[in-house]
Structure 1
Amino acid sequence: MNQFAQATEKDITRSIVEEFLGDFLSHIESDVIIVGGGPSGLVAARDLASSGLKTVVLESNNYFGGGFWLGGYLMNKVTVRAPAQKIFDQLGVPYKEVPDIKEGLYVADAPSACSKLISAACDAGAFMLNMNKFDDVVLRDGRVCGAVTNWTPVSALPRAITCVDPVAIETKCVIDATGHDAVVANSLADRGLVDLKGFLGMDVDNSEDAVVNNTSELFPGLVVTGMAAATCFGLSRMGPTFGGMLESGVKAAKIAEEIVRSR
C-alpha cells in the first residue's frame, strides 16, 4: 500500500498551473513592484505587504536573496552595524556582537539571515516572481507606472533563434532594488530622463549612511534603494556589510507607501 495520497501527473501539473496563474492574474495590477530580490528589496517587500499593499517582487534568478546568501569572499557570514541588528531581532536571526567595536558590529550566519528574510516577505503576502527579468518600464504621463518583464531564459536566447515578446504588469510605484546595476534607473537614463553618476570605490564607514540618506524617489513613480541608490547618486560602495541595505529597504518601503497612498 502506498504511503502517500494518490495523485497522477496531470493532477500535479494542473495544481501548479492553476495556482501560479491565479496568483499572477491577481497581481497584473499591483500597488508596488520591487525589481530585485536582494536584502533591500526583500525588507521593502516585507514592510509593504505587511501594510496591506499588493506587492510584487520581480527577480531574475531562480533564488531570492542576492549577495545576502554569501556575505564576503565566499565566506557565508554577514555583518551589520548598529542599529540594523534590530532588523535581525525582528526576523529572529541569531547573531554575535564583535568585541572591541565602539559603535557595535554584529555577525550572523548568512543562510539563516537570508532564509528568514525571504520567509518574512513571503509570510507578509508579497508575490514572489522569480526567473523573471526586467525588460523595460511602463511610462505614462511622465511617470513610471509598471514593469515590462520576460522569462529569464527567454532573455538569454539569441535574437536569431527566436523572439518572444514580453508582458507588462502595472503598478502605482516601482522600487529599483537591483544593486549596482540599477537596471530600472538605467532604462530611464538610456532615454535621457535621469542622469546617473555611477558608484565610487569602497568606503564602508560612510557608505551605509549615504545609501540610506539617498534612498529616494529618483523619478516620478520610481524609488531607488540599496546599492542602486549608490549607482544613481555617485556614492561609495559598502562591500560585505548589509545594515545599510536593510535600513535602505525599510526607508524605501515608507516612501513607496506614501506614493501609493497619495494616488
Structure 2
Amino acid sequence: MIIDERIVSEAIASTYFEKFKNSLDLDVAIVGGGPSGLTAAWKLASAGRKVGLFERKLSVGGGMWGGGMTWTSIVVQEEAKGILEEAGVAVREFKSGYFTADSVAATAALAYRATSAGARVFNCTSVEDVVLREVDGVKRVMGLVVNSSPVEMARLHVDPLVLHCKHAIECTGHDVEMLKTLVRKNGVKLNTPSGGIEGEQSMWADVAEANTVRHTREVYPGVWVAGMAANAAFGSYRMGPIFGGMLLSGVRVAEAIDALL
C-alpha cells in the first residue's frame, strides 16, 4: 500500500468534524476532563445519553494524571475503589481503608470507558461562555460557547462556536471557570449559601472528601457542579491526591441528571 498524505489529512478532518457536528445538540455537556468529569461521562454515556466532554488542556485526567507531586500513584477509600475496579483498574490495599492505584492506568481506564460508551471528548477546547435562555420566566443555561485553547492562550480575536445542551456539568476543579463566567457576566444568584461562589479553603482531606459528594448538585438552572468544583462552589476544603470523592461525585451527578432526562 502506498500512503497518500492527502487522504490521511482528509480522514482526520472528515471524522473530526463529523464528531463535532454531531455534538452541537447534547443531552449533557461536561466542562473539564478530570476524574469526576470522566466518570460522569462514562456513566451518562453508558445510560444512552448524548455526552460531550470539553477539556482545555491537550490531555484529560486533571490532577489524577500526575498522581501526588508527579509520583504516579493515587489513593482512594474503600467506598470508591469499586468504581476503579469496574473500570478495569488494579487496586491494592495499602493499609486498612486506604487503597492505591496507578494514576496513569486509572486516567486511561476512565477515558477509555467514557469514549467506548459513546462520550465524545474534545481536547484543547476552552469554554469561554454559556448560552442563556429564558424558559417560563426562568433563566437557564442551554449551551456552551467554545473556542480553541491555543486561540485563547494567544489572545487572538477569533469568534467562538456554540453548542446546545440540556444540562452542563462544571468539572473544572479549583478554578470553577464556567461558574465564574456565569456569575461575572450575568450577576446571577447560585444555589449556594451566599448566592455566589464561596471559594475553596485549605487542606482538610477528611471533610473535603465527604463534601465533594455532598455538594454535588444543580447550582443554577441547567448547571451542575461535581468534583473539586463542588467544594470550591460551596466553600469546602481541598483534599490532595485522594480521589475517591471525585469518582463518587461523578457517579452521583450522572445518576441525578440521568433521572431527569
TM-score (norm 1): 0.93
Distance 1:18 1:54 in 2: 20
After superposition, the C-alpha distances for 1:93-133 in whole angstroms (9 at most, x for unaligned) are 1121012x3xx110111111111111111111101111101
After superposition, the C-alpha distances for 1:159-186 in whole angstroms (9 at most, x for unaligned) are xxx4110011100000000001011111
Q: Confirm or deny that 1:96 pairs with 2:92.
A: yes
Q: CA deviation at 1:200?
A: 1.0
Pick the structure with greater CA Rg. Answer: 1
Instruction: Output aligned runs, 1:175-214, within 5 Å.
Output: 175-190=169-184, 191-193=186-188, 194=190, 195-214=196-215
Aligned equivalent of 1:69 = 65
Any stretches of 5+ residues in structure 2 without a counterpart?
191-195
Kept after mapping to 2: 8 A contact 1:33/1:174: yes
Distance 1:47 1:127 in 2: 13
Q: CA deviation at 1:7?
A: 2.8
Instruction: Output aligned runs, 1:244-255, within 5 Å.
Output: 244-255=245-256
Distance 1:219 1:15 in 2: 40
Match of 1:17 among 10, 13, 33: 13
What secondary structure, in the 3-state scheme, does the structure 1 residue paired with 2:74 have?
Answer: strand
After superposition, the C-alpha distances for 1:217-250 in whole angstroms (9 at most, x for unaligned) are 0000001000101111001111110000000000
Kept after mapping to 2: 8 A contact 1:98/1:106: yes
Q: Confirm or deny that 1:112 pairs with 2:109.
A: no
Distance 2:2 2:52 in 1: 34
After superposition, the C-alpha distances for 1:28-51 in whole angstroms (9 at most, x for unaligned) are 111100000000000000001011
Any stretches of 5+ residues in structure 1 without a counterpart?
none
Q: Confirm or deny that 1:151 pairs with 2:148.
A: yes
Q: CA deviation at 1:16?
A: 0.6
Distance 2:100 2:174 in 1: 23
What secondary structure, in the 3-state scheme, does the structure 1 residue paired with 2:75 have?
Answer: strand
Moved over 4 A (4+): none
Kept after mapping to 2: 8 A contact 1:38/1:66: yes
Aligned equivalent of 1:78 = 74
Aligned equivalent of 2:167 = 173
Distance 1:52 1:41 in 2: 17
**2:111 is matched by which residue type in structure 1?**
I
**2:5 is matched by which residue type in structure 1?**
E
TM-score (norm 2): 0.93
Aligned equivalent of 1:49 = 45
After superposition, the C-alpha distances for 1:136-194 in whole angstroms (9 at most, x for unaligned) are 01111100110000000001123xxx411001110000000000101111112213213
